[in-house]
Amino acid sequence: MKDIVEEALMSFKPMLGMRRQVIICDFEDDVCTMVEPTEISLVIANLIENASKYTPEGGQITIKLHKEEDFTILPLVMTA
């Protein structure tokens, strides 16, 4: 899952750079989940795009990836 998130982030690096937004990644090790890679990539890309759109220039976006019981959690936190 970490690889999928990192790959999605790569496509947004230019846009984030233009808006002077900083991405902080906080990934737990060994978070595995069964997902359809293409579908989850689209969802993650949409989340990143929206986070960038609604985060002010110079703001920070934190992406976390961790497990809670049987669930994989992927919150995005935006700050000014």
pLDDT digits (tens, 9 = 90+) for 34-75: 889 999 999 999 999 999 999 999 999 999 999 998 899 999
* Locus of tokens 């700050």: 79
Per-domain residue ranges for the chain?
2-79
- The residues that bridge with 78 in the sheet, in sequence order, are 61
* Closest among 58, 56, 51 to 74, alpha carbons compared: 51
Band (80; pLDDT cuts 50, 70, 90): low
CATH number for 2-79: choose from 3.40.190.10, 1.10.240.10, 3.30.470.20, 3.30.565.10: 3.30.565.10
* Helix 2-18 × helix 37-54 angle, to 10°: 30
d(CA 59, CA 40): 25
